Amino acid sequence: MSRSNRPQGRRTVRYAGLTLLAAAMATTAAAAADAPAASHTVTYDRHSLIIDGKPTYIWSGSFHYWRLPSPELWKDVLQKMKAAGFNAVEIYFDWGYHSPKRGVYDFTGIRDVDRLLDMARDVGIYVIARPGPYINAETDAGGFPGWLVNTAGKPRSTAPEYTAAYREWMTAIDAILARHQVTDGRGTVLLYQVENEFYNDSDDGRAYMQALEDKARADGITVPLFGNHNTNFFDGVGKLDMPGYDSYPMDFDCTRPERWNSVYDFASEREGLKHTPLFFPEYQGGAFDVWGGPGYEACRKLTGPEFERVFYEATMASGSTMQNFYMTYGGINWGWLSSPGVYTSYDYGAAITTSRQLTSKYDQQKLLGYMIHAAPSLARTDAVGSAVAENRRLRVNARINPDDGTRFYILRHAEAADTTNDATHLSITLRDAGAIRIPQAPGTDLRVNGRDSKVLLADAHIGQQDLAYSTSELLTQLHTGGRDIAVFYGRDGEDGETVLRYAGQPEVKVLDGQVASAWDEKAHMLRLNYRHHGLSRVTITQGEHSLLLLLGDNEAATRFWQLDTAAGPVLLRGPYLARSATPSGDTLALTGDTDKASELEVFAAPDVRTVTWNGKPIQTSRTASTTLLGKLDGPAPVTLPTLHDWHIANSAPEIETTFDDHAWQAANKTSTPNPYWEHQLPILDSDDYGFHHGHVWYRGHFKATGKETSIRLSASMGVHLGNHGIFTAWLNGHFLGNNPSGSQQFPIDPSWLKKGGDNVVAVLVENTGHLQEEHNGAFREMRGLMSATLQGSQAPIAWKLQGNVGGEDLPDPVRGPFNIGGLYGERKDWHLPGFSDAAWAKTTLPHATDKPGVDWYRTTFTLDIPKNQDVPIALRIRDAAPHHYRAIIFINGWQIGRYISDVGPQTDFELPAGLLNPQGKNTIAIAAWSTAQDGGLGEVSLVMQGNYLTGHW
């Protein structure tokens, strides 16, 4: 705990090139500490979470700050989520990320969780906190710290050693979470998850859960405690306030992205919950991809907008009011953060890409998120059986709010995978009018395309308007400038019918598009019929009631943005992204992003006369809809430099017999606290010597008899789980070979041996991460060399090993425990920008080598991106054909990528701004490990992934 409360900036920053991060660290919002703590109540019933007495639909997305090592960008992601209508963000807190050594906890710089939670508060988004202790998450050891490998005690149990360890973590993280709680802190932490997918229902499992819950409460956690343990911990010892279900209906195989699974109906789970809402702490938001996999665009397709619409609406149909999507922004397994099996990008095929770009999945999320916000009655509904689709290929679920009578009809194909485009009429029941068949207009129908779904509203109040029903879907509604504005939408070319009730015949004015209206005097209903295409506009006035009704197709709908301000909501149309709106006097100050020159239409009160965008006044004119219309600039074109002036150093001196390893640790331990694996003696497991991440070198010395014929080497890289770890070995400087499976006998050429002299076996082993725990302690599986035996001789081998400098005592705590391993260049700071490579040879890329070993390549480049532009940039490695090498990539000292030429699939590695300097000099260092005689390094270039004029910086 020694460092947990250390003030910002006291650490001596040893390395050059950290200015960006240091500056970022210095801006921690100290001001927030003085803000008055407003306390709120968080309760729940069988329908929903209830915040300050208000039933609230929770629409949430997962984000891992530790997969985005640039705090400035956290806010960008949170704002983008908020802008899409998410009212919550779900966050795992990764124990291992904060604790390089027992008793050492770091919450500064890129680990500044206080700052993250302040940002969430400032953005106005609730936080669903998931501090583990175990988190899974495709990360090293499922979030357990490296040092936990070397402890005894069954993980996720009441074992005393494990208990003492996790209590350290909880004390540290709970103290931070507690001061950001909605209930009695000064933040937006709304819920607290205990453990992760823990299915151990034994006495000990329950006692463990209870101990975690007691600890959280003792640490001052006052928000409801929940879990994602499916049917577990509903009652008895370990009972949680709110149980929850995780669901990944598409699974994780992205190789067949057209595949479509059936929809599981959670209605019976809903019925089984007597006191809590149907909560999905993880509902599928994408899928992880594996080494050699098809890449993340395939995962985005597998879990695309159609999937989102059908499956997310199906959970609404079964009565869920709390849904979190895993992931909404996936991020980067930078350094050695990943568990074995997954590669650097954790893009997850999510709604927001790793490079923070918005996708069609984001657009779809936004359509649903806005509707949930616009129809708060959805937070409290019961199933009713009162709707029938005439076309039996389709199925309808009807729900009604028992308090205000709002009805919801969720319509899709009975067989979710169906791809036919079907038309139907629906029989629904309306207040006063009773049963009615819709749409009513002759010659029109209600269509449901294959793999589509719709949520239709009836008997709903939209501001002061009384909606009988609509076959279009509600996007949003607001009251501003003395009138209601409502946006409904549907698929391009499909019919729409919207019926509103009025006391007397209203005045209808079609401002744009073709909309027919019919007044039914007897029923007091105004019926509008139209075809969704572009954006139609209608004003409807009757007495005090005034409505601007906007009817769009999906494309038009996604171009709307609604922002909250102290003076009420504001609706915008046009730009790529809208981030914030601040009214002052007759001026509305807006911020946001454009990807090209765009229209900006502002639907605000008439007293708003001036609009600024990212601080600049925008010329506007008044439209027939009494809105303000202006133009926004797009970004200036940007060109990226080509990379040249590469310097190269051959850098695996450990291979040579002459290398001096006297300072290395001797691998001579004969006992270990690690209870899990049977070790051969002496213990070679690198974890036992404090080297938990990255590459480890072993050098074994033996006196040769001259009769040695071969050597069997075994290493553990977790290869059985689709991992692609490898080791390479040399004898007296001669290449023995490589092995990707764990164990191999390598023949020895007699001429290589020094009879009676010191012979050296050098082995470079990759530790691709510790397994996720898998409920049995497998994260303690050893890493590194396991055993070595000579054939033809009994000569003992004395081993020494070297991993990352300092082991658990990090010389570079800013970049932290996962950044580097034990390659020679890493030990000599060659990855850092301050290192001088002037003495290295010059080279060009691609560069081929027939010499197995490690080569380092370095170059610098200068960027001059305009300060108000957000230009996500990736580093690309291109090999004309796969070669036997793998590379680790550093930008300004940060390891942001692991590339395996002969495995793939990742070739583009994000360089997040903050690590990358967009306005100045940058240093790239690449360590390329040739694992056979056809290694080297491919072509390396910078790739622009997008270009936005932004209000973010």
Q: Which residues of the chain form contacts with ligand GAL (CB under 6 A)?
A: 135-138, 196-197, 246, 282, 288, 326
94 or 213, CB closer to ligand GAL?
94
197 or 269, CB closer to ligand GAL?
197
Q: Which residue has the tokens 């449901």?
A: 448
- Phi first, then psi: give them for residue 517, nearest 5 degrees: -130, 150
352 or 628, CB closer to ligand GAL?
352
289 or 826, CB closer to ligand GAL?
289
CB of 93 to ligand GAL, least distance (A): 12
Relative orientation angle of helices 160-178 and 113-123, to the nearest 10 degrees = 40
- Among candidates 622, 592, 631, which has minimal Cα distance to 481? 622
Can you say whether residue 733 is alpha, beta or left, with left for phi > 0 and alpha for psi between -120 and 50 degrees? left
Query: In a 10 Å sphere around its CB, with 0-12 CB exposed, 13-18 middle and 19+ buried, how is residue 658 labelled?
Result: exposed
494 is catalytic: no
Three-state SS at 165: helix
CB of 246 to ligand GAL, least distance (A): 6
365 or 465, CB closer to ligand GAL?
365
CB of 356 to ligand GAL, least distance (A): 20
Q: DSSP secondary structure string, 844-897?
A: -SSEEESS-EEEEEEEEEEEE--TTEE--EEEEEE-SS--SEEEEEEETTEEEE
CB of 770 to ligand GAL, least distance (A): 14
CB of 141 to ligand GAL, least distance (A): 13
CB of 570 to ligand GAL, least distance (A): 36
Q: Which residues contact 735 (CB under 8 A, 6 or more apart)?
A: 728, 729, 852, 933
As given in the structure block, the two tokens for residue 378 are: 């959805």
Tell me how far apart the alpha carbons of residues 781 and 123 are, in angstroms, rounded to a whole number.
42
939 is catalytic: no
CB of 232 to ligand GAL, least distance (A): 14
Can you state the percent helix, strand and coil of the chain, rounding each to 5?
15, 35, 45
Using alpha carbons only, give the angle 660, 661, 664 rounded to the nearest 5 degrees. Answer: 155
- Among candidates 803, 805, 832, 845, which has minimal Cα distance to 925? 832
Find the catalytic residue in 138, 168, 213, 282: 282
288 or 929, CB closer to ligand GAL?
288
Helix spans in 455-592 (H): 554-558
CB of 127 to ligand GAL, least distance (A): 17
Residues facing residue 480 across a β-bridge: 483
CB 177 within 8 A of CB 131: yes
Using alpha carbons only, give the angle 31, 130, 911 rounded to the nearest 5 degrees. Answer: 70
Residues facing residue 93 across a β-bridge: none
230 or 427, CB closer to ligand GAL?
230
CB 607 within 8 A of CB 586: yes
Tell me how far apart the alpha carbons of residues 242 and 192 are, in angstroms, rounded to a whole number.
10
283 or 697, CB closer to ligand GAL?
283
- Return the H-helix or E-strand segment holding 74: helix 71-83
76 or 282, CB closer to ligand GAL?
282
289 or 708, CB closer to ligand GAL?
289
Residues facing residue 701 across a β-bridge: 760, 798
Find the catalytic residue in 161, 197, 555, 939: 197
Q: Which residues contact 438 (CB under 8 A, 6 or more apart)?
A: 425, 426, 428, 446, 469, 471, 497
Q: In what order do the strands lie in the sheet with 54-56?
A: 42-44, 49-51, 54-56
CB of 371 to ligand GAL, least distance (A): 27
For 838, other C-beta atoms within 10 Å of its C-beta total 6
- Among candidates 782, 687, 695, 673, which has minimal Cα distance to 145? 687
CB 766 within 8 A of CB 691: no
CB of 132 to ligand GAL, least distance (A): 10
* Active site residue ranges: 197, 282
